Every structure is written in structure tokens, then in C-alpha cells.
């Protein structure tokens, strides 16, 4: 298996050299061809996906995981639209980040260049297969896709049609490759292919991410789990707050930008808690709350520190009343995964204090946590949400998939 993975990486390096000198028109044409091929291949992809879904269900997989795994014609069409959106975005390769003419006459430019070969290790979300392939291609890099065995058939069907589209567009098929998922060692060999792979990005649950961070010898961008908070401030519009809480929690529970924790300032607790508890229960949400929340409804489950730290990915939410904005910030800093926090408030001072006080990749002011998404923020389909602080943080789009080179031009200069 090691040699198989390394052979794929070497082929990817060759393909990456071609992509590095492919202009925007060539890459965009390939992206449109890939999008069209996915739509044209819908029947085959859905058929492969149905086998993966039924296999996962027979194995007792939870419905929130099944939801991530499932593809239908509408979802495939949305994935294809995402590829077309990426084609419409500016090409980051060649962008001058900064430049100047030095006192000695040398002209210095820091220029964006492709990363090279990127390895993706991810769980059962086949949309990531297309998103990652498209973003890496547009950014001029080849990609090695190591999805989970639960989505192996779906991923293979999608990769086959995208590779065919690459060839039809005059680009090397090996710019997009699938790493076998039927052998767990393939992930290890990918993340330890230092010198062949330039960057590894894990995308999935906490266990997967931690394993890659601890075992990889290739540089890693960590995409963290999402214990996202909504804080309802003393100066909140409570109608707005209720709408935001419900959207952040119930719009789609199986994603990392769904809210998992609710904090309410004591000044509005008496009026807001009965409304939000009733609304969440009406939507089937189990509330894991403190004494104040439990006093409102006997159906509220007592909350523990484990609840406050949890990424549920289900119709569950932890909840607590806080004495002040500062206590809300302290709670978030103690339990947050560093993904997304939201404040609902009409106070500019409160929003400024909250934004400065929390330490997360994204902060929403009077908006749902569900907007931490590359597509929603105008980046096109994202490759993941980085919760680390080096190189990339927050939604990772095209720019984050590049590195830079210093181009220094002289006229016979010597030192």
C-alpha cells in the first residue's frame, strides 16, 4: 500500500507541474467540463451512492452521518454549480501580494504560487470530493483524495467522471486521484509522504483530525470541530435572537457551523427563556441546560461540562444563563472549539467587546453561525474551516490553497 500511495503522489507531482503553468482559461474550462460531467453522470453517481447509504444504514450509522453521505440529483446539481462558481472566481495564482523597488534598484515581488500536491483525508461527505478537486485545480495544485470507506463507491464514481473531464480539457487526469479507503494504512502513508505531498488537510470528526495532527509528517492545516455558540446579550432584539438561534441550531444539524451552545444574559432571561425553550422543543431539540433553563421546563436535561464542550451534530443544544457579557466570553473561551461564535445585540460596544474577547476563526454579529461557509462568504465552495492560526484560519478558499514565492529582478546586481 505504501508504494501505491507514493506512486500516486509522484504522478500527482508530475500533474502539478502542468497545472502550475496552466492559465486561468484552461483551468476554468476544465472546471466547467467537470461540472457538466457530474450532472451528466448523475444516474451513475446516485446509484453508487445508494449502495453506500444502504450499507451505512445496515451498519447502524446515525442519521446525521447518513445525511452527510446522501446524494441525489438536486445535491449533485448544487455541487456542479459550486464548481462553476469557483470557475467564476479570480485566479489567485500570479497575484502580487506585495512589491517594491529597493534602494539598490532591485525589484521585489511576493507572488502567489500553487501549493503543489495536496492530500485530503475526510469522512463520508462526497461533496468534499468535488469541492476539494475543484479548489485545488483552480489554485494550480494536484489533489490526492482519501475519503472514507463508507463513501468509497460514491467518491469513485465522482472522481471517474471528473478525471475524464480533465483529459477532455487537455489537462492530466492525475491532477485528481483517489487513494484507496479499504486499507486504513493508506491514510497513514499519505500523511507521511513527506517530500511527495506538500500539505495534508483532514476534514471530519475530532478523532480523525487529532489522528492526522499527531501522526502526519507532512504539514497539516487543521480543520477543527464546531462547538459554536450563540450569545443573547442584554441589549438583544429578542425576536431576532429567537430567529437566529433556531436557524443556527435547526437549519442543518450535521454540519460544523451549526450552533451547539446557547448563552443568555440574565437581564433578558425571564422574557426570553420561555420563548426559546418552547421553540426549540417544538423543533425537536433536546436542551441540556443549567438550573435557570430547567426551571422553565421539566423536559430540559441537566447540563454537564461535557455537554458544554460537545459538538452534538444532532438536535441537541447546551444552554446556560450568564451574569454578564464577560462571563459569556469566559464560558466560550473555556469550551469553544475555536470555530464560530455569534452575539445578538443592538449595542455597538457589546459587539466590539465580544468580537475582541472571543478567540475563534469567525464571529457573527446579529447573524447565524451558519454563515461560516466559503460559499456564503463569497469564496466559492470551501475546502474546510480552519480553526488553527498558522497560514489559514476560517473558511479556506482559493487563496488559502496557495503559497508565495519571492521574485526578485535585477540588472546584473551582485552583493
Closest CA to 233 of 123, 137, 355: 355
The 10s digit of each residue's pLDDT in 8-51 is 999 999 999 999 999 999 999 999 999 999 999 999 999 999 99
For domain 228-371, say whether CATH 2.60.120.590 is its number.
no
Residue spans per domain, the chain: 2-223+396-409, 228-371
The 10s digit of each residue's pLDDT in 248-266 is 999 999 889 999 999 999 9
Closest CA to 325 of 267, 243, 241: 267
Please state, in angstroms and as integers, the Cα–Cα distance from residue 206 to each residue in 20, 203, 377, following that order: 33, 9, 25
How many alpha carbons lie under 13 Å from residue 415 in its C-beta half-sphere? 2
Q: What does the mean pLDDT of the chain come to?
A: 95
Closest CA to 111 of 129, 124, 99, 101: 99
- Torsion sign, CA atoms 389, 379, 226, 363: positive
Q: Is the pLDDT of residue 332 over 80?
A: yes
* Measured torsion, CA atoms of residues 342, 272, 240, 302, in degrees rounded to the nearest 10: 40
CATH topology agreement for domains 2-223+396-409 and 228-371: no
The 10s digit of each residue's pLDDT in 334-373 is 999 999 999 999 999 999 999 999 999 999 999 999 999 8
Cell numbers found for residue 359: 478567540
Closest CA to 82 of 30, 13, 130: 130
Q: Is the pLDDT of residue 64 over 80?
A: no
* Domain range 2-223+396-409, CATH class: alpha beta
The 10s digit of each residue's pLDDT in 138-181 is 999 999 999 999 999 999 999 999 999 999 999 999 999 999 99
Q: Is the pLDDT of residue 224 over 80?
A: no
DSSP letter assigned to residue 256? T
Q: Is the pLDDT of residue 223 over 90?
A: no
Q: String of b and e for 199-224 (b: at least 16 CB within 10 Å)?
A: bbbbbbeeebbebbeeebebebbbbb
Residues 146, 196: Cα–Cα separation, whole Å: 15
Helices (H), 116-237: 126-138, 152-168, 185-191, 206-215
Amino acid at each position: 500500500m505504501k508504494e501505491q500511495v507514493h506512486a500516486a503522489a509522484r504522478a500527482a507531482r508530475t500533474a502539478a507541474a502542468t497545472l502550475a503553468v496552466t492559465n486561468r482559461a484552461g483551468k476554468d474550462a476544465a472546471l466547467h467540463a467537470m461540472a457538466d460531467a457530474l450532472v451528466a453522470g448523475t444516474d451513475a453517481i446516485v446509484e453508487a451512492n445508494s449502495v453506500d447509504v444502504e450499507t451505512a444504514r445496515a451498519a447502524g450509522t446515525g442519521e446525521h452521518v447518513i445525511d452527510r453521505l446522501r446524494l441525489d440529483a438536486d445535491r449533485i446539481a448544487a455541487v456542479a454549480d459550486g464548481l462553476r462558481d469557483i470557475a467564476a472566481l479570480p485566479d489567485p495564482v500570479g497575484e502580487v501580494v506585495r512589491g517594491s523597488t529597493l534602494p539598490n534598484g532591485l525589484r521585489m515581488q511576493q507572488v502567489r504560487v500553487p501549493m503543489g500536491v495536496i492530500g485530503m483525508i475526510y469522512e463520508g461527505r462526497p461533496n468534499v470530493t468535488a469541492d476539494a478537486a475543484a479548489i485545488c485545480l483552480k489554485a494550480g495544485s494536484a489533489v490526492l483524495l482519501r475519503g472514507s470507506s463508507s463513501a468509497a463507491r460514491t467518491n469513485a464514481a465522482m472522481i471517474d467522471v471528473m478525471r475524464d473531464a480533465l483529459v477532455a480539457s487537455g489537462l492530466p487526469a492525475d491532477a485528481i486521484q483517489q487513494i484507496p479507503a479499504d486499507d486504513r494504512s493508506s491514510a497513514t502513508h499519505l500523511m507521511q509522504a513527506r517530500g511527495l505531498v506538500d500539505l495534508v488537510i483532514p476534514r471530519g470528526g475530532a478523532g480523525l483530525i487529532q489522528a492526522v495532527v499527531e501522526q502526519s509528517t507532512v504539514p497539516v492545516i487543521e480543520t477543527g470541530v464546531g462547538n459554536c455558540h450563540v450569545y443573547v446579550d442584554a441589549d438583544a432584539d429578542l425576536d431576532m435572537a429567537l430567529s437566529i438561534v433556531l436557524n443556527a441550531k435547526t437549519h442543518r444539524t450535521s454540519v460544523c457551523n451549526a450552533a451547539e451552545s446557547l448563552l443568555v444574559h440574565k437581564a433578558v432571561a425571564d422574557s426570553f427563556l420561555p420563548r426559546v425553550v418552547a421553540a426549540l422543543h417544538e423543533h425537536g431539540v433536546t436542551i441540556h441546560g443549567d438550573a435557570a433553563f430547567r426551571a422553565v421546563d421539566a423536559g430540559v436535561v441537566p447540563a454537564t461540562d461535557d455537554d458544554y464542550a460537545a459538538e452534538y451534530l444532532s438536535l441537541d443544544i447546551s444552554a446556560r444563563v450568564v451574569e454578564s457579557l464577560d462571563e459569556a466570553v469566559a464560558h466560550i473561551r473555556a469550551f469553544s472549539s475555536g470555530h464560530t461564535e455569534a452575539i445578538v445585540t443592538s449595542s455597538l460596544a457589546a459587539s466590539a467587546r465580544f468580537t475582541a474577547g472571543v478567540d475563534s476563526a469567525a464571529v457573527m454579529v446579529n447573524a447565524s453561525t451558519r454563515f461560516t461557509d466559503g460559499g456564503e462568504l463569497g469564496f466559492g465552495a470551501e475546502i474546510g474551516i480552519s480553526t488553527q492560526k498558522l497560514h489559514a484560519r476560517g473558511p479556506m478558499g482559493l487563496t488559502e490553497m496557495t503559497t508565495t514565492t519571492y521574485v526578485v529582478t535585477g540588472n546584473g546586481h551582485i552583493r
